[in-house]
Amino acid sequence: MSFQEYLKYLTRLFVQYVETPKEERKQNRRPRESWSSRWFGAIPMSIKLLLRK
What is the Cα 4 distance to its own chain's centre?
Answer: 26
Looking at residue 4, its pLDDT comes to 96
Spatial separation of the C-alpha atoms in residues 40 and 44, rounded to whole Å:
7
Non-local (6+) Cβ contacts of 44 within 8 A are 34, 36, 37
CA distance 29 to 45: 23
Task: Say what the pLDDT of residue 48 is.
Answer: 85
> What phi-psi label fits residue 34: left (phi over 0), alpha (psi between -120 and 50 degrees) or beta?
beta
Please name the helix (run of DSSP H) or strand (run of DSSP E) that holds residue 19, with its range, or none.
helix 3-19
pLDDT at 36: 72
pLDDT of residue 17: 92
pTM for the model: 0.50
Q: Tell me: the pLDDT tens digits for 1-53?
A: 899 999 999 999 999 999 999 999 888 888 887 777 777 888 887 888 889 87
